[in-house]
Chains A and B, each alone.
Chain A
């Protein structure tokens, strides 16, 4: 099976809630760079961070992350 790429809607959801990268980073306890690299699909976050992001944005993990076809 070909490896499918993990994409996300983190930036979209963050902007919808009026948060900057730094604000979201401070809320989940990571650096702004971490949020930046996740948004750009450069870095795949751990399950714990994905859950923390979902909780902070009031969304489900699968609303934020999805596998590109």
Chain B
């Protein structure tokens, strides 16, 4: 045996669990990063202190976007490394479906938090990052779902309950977006300026509502038993 390679299923699962836990830590760090940036912007709004400590609000925003990009690249790398390791055995992944799904849910939750955070600032020049996050979240929820990767492992992680829940959530998102769109259409006649402001919230209805509902349904499905 070379390089301390695990030999039994139990050892492989324990090592994979550590890897998943580390990925979870990265995700929590992203939340902390976003919260720290928020606090900086908040205190700047309260007292205009940022220029005093040599950081501009624009700099903080760039820092947030750079952090987000780094996080996306980091997560993609971790996910790629993970798939290399998993590819050795479907048997192992079968015993870790819940762990992988929980991590996926955490990732979606982070993107959702970032989206909602930027949605509240969409009128303050934060539109480009907002739309970027909205697109990433939309893609993560639909096109980059395990099903779309079409591998045996992905099929395992995207079992029929997950697909059913996603379908239900997409329907709710569609209804929410249509309701918002109807409201927006009426608003255009009375207050075009207000309609422009409401644009980001239309995206939130179409993207965030299904993700939020999906996370709720997944949590509900795991209760009891």
Closest residue of chain A to B91, judged by CB?
A26
Cβ–Cβ contact B225 & A31, under 8 A: no
14 intermolecular pairs with C-beta atoms under 8 Å apart: A22-B98, A27-B94, A29-B94, A30-B97, A31-B97, A32-B97, A33-B222, A34-B160, A34-B221, A36-B222, A37-B161, A39-B225, A43-B161, A46-B160
Residue from B98, B164, B225 within 8 A of A43 (CB atoms): B164
Residue from A21, A40, A49 within 8 A of B160 (CB atoms): A49
Number of A-B contacts (CB under 8 A): 55
Chain B 145-188 against A: per-residue CB contact (8 Å), 1 yes, 0 no? 00000000000100111101000000000000000000000000
At the interface, yes or no: A25 with Cβ under 8 Å from chain B?
yes
A8: min CB distance to chain B, Å: 13
Closest residue of chain A to B223, judged by CB?
A36
Q: With A37-B161, A37-B221, A40-B224 in contact, is A32–B94 under 8 Å at CB?
A: no
Cβ–Cβ contact A33 & B156, under 8 A: no
At the interface, yes or no: A45 with Cβ under 8 Å from chain B?
yes
Closest residue of chain B to A30, judged by CB?
B159
Q: With A36-B225, A40-B224, A40-B225 in contact, is A31–B159 under 8 Å at CB?
A: yes
Q: With A30-B161, A31-B161, A49-B160 in contact, is A36–B221 under 8 Å at CB?
A: yes
Closest residue of chain B to A40, judged by CB?
B224
Main secondary structure of the interface of A (DSSP, over half): helix
At the interface, yes or no: B95 with Cβ under 8 Å from chain A?
yes
* Interface range on chain A (Cβ under 8 Å from partner): 20 to 34
B103: min CB distance to chain A, Å: 13
Distance in angstroms between the alpha carbons of A27 and B91 in the assembled complex: 9
Distance in angstroms between the alpha carbons of A34 and B156 in the assembled complex: 12
Q: Which residues of A contact B218 (CB under 8 A)?
A: 33
Distance in angstroms between the alpha carbons of A37 and B101 in the assembled complex: 16
Distance in angstroms between the alpha carbons of A33 and B158 in the assembled complex: 12
Distance in angstroms between the alpha carbons of A37 and B162 in the assembled complex: 11
Distance in angstroms between the alpha carbons of A29 and B94 in the assembled complex: 6
Cβ–Cβ contact A42 & B221, under 8 A: yes
B16: min CB distance to chain A, Å: 14
At the interface, yes or no: A35 with Cβ under 8 Å from chain B?
yes
Residue from A25, A26, A33 within 8 A of B221 (CB atoms): A33
